[in-house]
Amino acid sequence: MESKEKELTFEVALSKLEAVVESMESGEIPLDELLQKFEAGNKLLKTCETRLKDAELKIEKLKKERTGVSFSPFKSEGETSS
């Protein structure tokens, strides 16, 4: 994933994806632009899927730790140490 997509929140990525789909469905754009939008939509879809998977993993981790008090910072697969 490009760094630009890594910075997007789920909500922003989903909103942009919806806009891409809407413009593609209009049927009023040339084929070249349609292909570019399709590629952009695929990147946004991957971003959304990654954000949802990260949230699911965090929820599962919190459920498992609910009985104890051993919370640790959550890092997604895409994050690197600073």
pLDDT per residue rounded down to tens, the chain (82 residues): 455 656 899 999 999 999 999 999 988 899 999 999 999 999 999 999 999 999 999 988 888 877 665 556 667 766 655 4
Tell me if 20 sits within 8 A of 44, measured CB to CB.
yes
Predicted TM-score (pTM) of the model is 0.68
Closest CA to 13 of 39, 47, 54, 40: 47
Tell me if 32 sits within 8 A of 70, measured CB to CB.
no
**Which domains does the chain show, CATH number per domain?**
3-65 (1.10.287)
